[in-house]
Amino acid sequence: MIIIMKPNASKEAVSRVASIVESRGLQVHLSKGDEVTIVGVVGDKSKLHGSNIEISEGVDKIVNVTESYKLVNKKFHPEDSRIPVGNTFIGPGSVTVMAGPCAIENNRQLMETAVAVKKAGATFLRGGAYKPRTSPYSFQGLEEEGLEYMKEARDATGLNVICEVTSAHAIEAAVKYVDMLQIGARNMQNFELLKEAGKSGIPVLLKRGLSATIDEWLNAAEYIISEGNPNIVLCERGIRTYETSTRNTLDISAVPVIRAKSHLPVIVDPSHATGVRAYVEPLAKAAVAVGADGLMIEVHPCPSCALSDGPQSLTFDQFRTLMDDLKPFARLVGRKL
């Protein structure tokens, strides 16, 4: 439940309400907006029976939060969150572009890509060091060696860097090298991994599971935030449907739906959503137009030589053109790109 304070409620009134809640063994999450303060209550609300909290000074009304996710819920935190990551923020006002190869293959491939995507205007370099491949015989990633290349690219270009983690061991390694952890679609409901990411203390990009509903996705984010890590960004990357023309089906409606249900930023990955290079550009434009907080796009120096996801990867030239073409879309929605 949430306790909505009156617009003129004093600080003392808010603290009094918070201490009543805490004295009953419940957790308090304060959200101070320009107009009103909301006291979010996490735990078994029946413990508040008999507390008369609804008539406590400064309380306007009490609203039950019926969804099972609380801390990522918009009702708990009506203002959209801006998430600090590396040297920047992800959220309202900007379109953050994360670009790079599907997999880190060698130092030169990563460094060349980093320089090219930075020049085109990306602020994040992506690249997989731990690859959750469908087949165990496909390239599985360079692991810690790849993370070292990521850090070198970061130091050389000033880009923020993000890598997918697939195990607690990978998290332990990655926190030494990257600005943001990525939890991939296949691990969205790996609850132990989500808890470890929550404990890691660094920002997390949480991709939507292949067949996950939006509520399941938000509950997965709740696992991370409930371990004390509020720095979460969601990523829509397409879902499984009966359609086979594209690798997945981009659920563009997820952007406004997330915006309505949660305060967390949401970005879109048109590369994994489609699996087809030619569809990346139109869907990237659609994502910006619909209000996404950013994009994740696969770029490779030689897509036809790529060890993974070549068919959906853009060349450097294609990426540069895309970035230029996206600018008017960002301007239309009042965001910087």
Cβ 171 to ligand PEP shortest distance, Å: 16
| Tokens matching residue 251 | 């659920």
**Residue 286 beta carbon to ligand PEP: minimum distance, rounded to whole angstroms:** 18
Is 207 an interacting residue with respect to ligand PEP (CB under 6 A)?
yes
Partnered with residue 230 across adjacent β-strands are none
CB of 166 to Mn ion, least distance (A): 13
- Contact region for ligand PEP (CB under 6 A) — 12-20, 85-93, 169-177, 179-187? 179-187
Residues 6+ apart with CB under 8 A from 82: 89, 90, 91, 92, 93, 265
Closest CB to ligand PEP among residues 179, 269: 269
Q: How far is the CB of 162 from ligand PEP (least distance, A)?
A: 9
Binding map of Mn ion across residues 210-249, x = CB under 5 A, - = no contact: ----------------------------------------
**CA distance linking residue 245 with residue 306, whole number of Å:** 22
Among Mn ion, ligand PEP, none, what does residue 185 contact (CB within 5–8 Å per kind)?
ligand PEP
Of 243, 322, 248, 329, residue with least CA distance to 278: 322
Q: Does 102 bind Mn ion (CB under 5 A)?
A: yes
Q: Which of 21, 71, 61, 60 is nearest to 44 (CA)?
A: 21
Contact of residue 268 among Mn ion, ligand PEP, none (CB under 5-8 Å per partner type): none
Residue span binding Mn ion (CB under 5 A) among the ranges 61-69, 94-102, 197-205, 228-236: 94-102
148 contacts 177 by C-beta, under 8 angstroms: yes
Residues with Cβ within 8 Å of 108's Cβ and at least 6 positions away in sequence, in order, are: none
Give the whole-angstrom CA distance, residue 102 versus residue 301: 11
Could you say whether residue 237 binds ligand PEP (CB under 6 A)?
yes
Stated as kind and residue range, the H or E segment containing 178 is: none
Give yes or no for a contact between 221 and 262, defined as CB atoms under 8 angstroms apart. yes
The residue behind tokens 């563009």 is 252
Decide if residue 272 touches ligand PEP (CB under 6 A). Answer: yes
**Binding marks (x or -) toward Mn ion, 277..316, rule CB under 5 A?**
--------------------------------x-------
What contacts 111, CB < 8 A, 6 or more positions away?
149, 152, 153, 156
- 164 forms part of the interface with Mn ion (CB under 5 A): no
> 170 is written with which tokens?
């990978």
Closest to Mn ion by CB, 21 or 295: 295
Rule CB under 6 A: which residues touch ligand PEP?
Answer: 102, 128, 164, 184-186, 207, 237, 269, 272
Rule CB under 5 A: which residues touch Mn ion?
Answer: 102, 309
